[in-house]
């Protein structure tokens, strides 16, 4: 009598669970190594916000107070937009090239993968925010009442929020062109409603209500708190926590939408 044995199947690795620090840092290191060979992307992330601030300063050369009034807000908005654009395209490139497909076949959790990407791009966000803040304060003469460190903190949180949004929307784009198309849908409405062009309480009540749930509104509010107050205020703490919380929430949503493209 012969016995037959069913073929042994290897279970797929679990993609959920607690974060693994070693896997997260390994993922981050791999992403940074890839970015090191892409100088154009690095230049876009690190230099474009500085160039935009430089141009803005001398657009208002005849009225420096205008630069003081809006420069702090844009110091947070420019890094957010840049990190959103670069992160969404770079992550989508990894998806379409099959890199994420291969990684998801390994014992690597979704949280580890998203956290690794966030850590890599967050490292660049720190450098970007430091460069832009230093340029605005010590070269372009941006006049703020509060601490430069608080200004840097908000700029960094904004850049991290842009990174999280870019990672999230990359799950819904099939091409780099589609990733760019998400900018008008995700970024531009926030730009119009964040209070940069007019105080939010001057808007139509319906638009003001929408602006109250958009994270960029609190990024601008946080910058304005540093612009007007010498010490850290309760409103500043609230704004910073909301921006940080939104970034974490979007990263969680990014991990939830991360999936294999093939069975």
| Every domain of the chain and the residues it spans | 21-257
Q: What is the pLDDT along the chain (263 residues), one digit of tens a residue?
A: 444 444 444 444 444 446 677 778 887 888 888 888 888 888 888 888 899 899 988 988 888 888 888 888 888 888 888 888 888 887 777 766 655 555 555 555 667 777 888 888 888 888 888 898 889 888 888 888 888 888 889 888 888 888 888 888 887 877 777 778 888 888 889 999 998 888 898 999 999 999 999 999 999 999 889 888 888 899 999 999 999 999 999 888 877 766 554 43
Instruction: Give residue for tokens 């998801």.
Output: 104
3-state SS class at 29: helix
Q: Any idea which residue has 């420069």 for tokens?
A: 71
Sign of the dihedral through C-alpha 177, 181, 182, 187: positive
Where would I find the H helices in 64-175? 64-96, 99-104, 110-138, 148-169
CA distance to 92, 93, 94, 179, per residue, from 88 (Å)? 6, 9, 10, 6
Neighbours of 18 (CB within 10 A): 8
pLDDT of residue 109: 65
pTM score, whole prediction: 0.80
How crowded is the C-beta side of 10, counted as CA atoms within 13 Å? Answer: 4
């Amino acid at each position: 009598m012969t016995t037959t044995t069913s073929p042994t199947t290897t279970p797929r690795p679990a993609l959920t669970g607690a974060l693994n620090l070693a896997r997260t840092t390994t993922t981050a290191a791999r992403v940074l190594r890839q970015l090191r060979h892409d100088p154009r992307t690095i230049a876009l992330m690190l230099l474009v916000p500085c160039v935009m601030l430089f141009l803005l300063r001398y657009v208002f050369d005849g009225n420096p107070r205008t630069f003081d009034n809006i420069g702090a807000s844009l110091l947070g908005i420019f890094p957010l937009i840049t990190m959103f654009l670069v992160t969404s395209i770079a992550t989508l490139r990894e998806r379409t090239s099959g890199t994420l497909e291969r990684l998801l076949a390994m014992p690597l959790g979704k949280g580890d993968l998203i956290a690794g990407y966030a850590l890599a791009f967050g490292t660049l966000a720190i450098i970007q925010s430091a460069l832009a803040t230093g340029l605005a304060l010590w070269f372009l003469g941006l006049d703020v009442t509060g601490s430069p460190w608080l200004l840097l903190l908000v700029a960094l949180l904004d850049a991290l929020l842009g990174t999280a949004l870019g990672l999230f929307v990359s799950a819904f784009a099939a091409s780099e062109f589609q990733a760019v198309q998400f900018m008008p849908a995700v970024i531009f409405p926030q730009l119009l409603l964040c209070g940069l062009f007019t105080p939010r309480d001057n808007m139509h009540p319906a638009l003001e209500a929408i602006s109250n749930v958009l994270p960029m509104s609190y990024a601008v509010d946080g910058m304005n708190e540093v612009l007007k107050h010498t010490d850290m205020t309760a409103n500043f703490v609230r704004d910073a926590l909301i921006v940080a919380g939104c970034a974490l929430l979007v990263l969680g949503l990014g991990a939830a939408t991360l999936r294999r493209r093939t069975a």
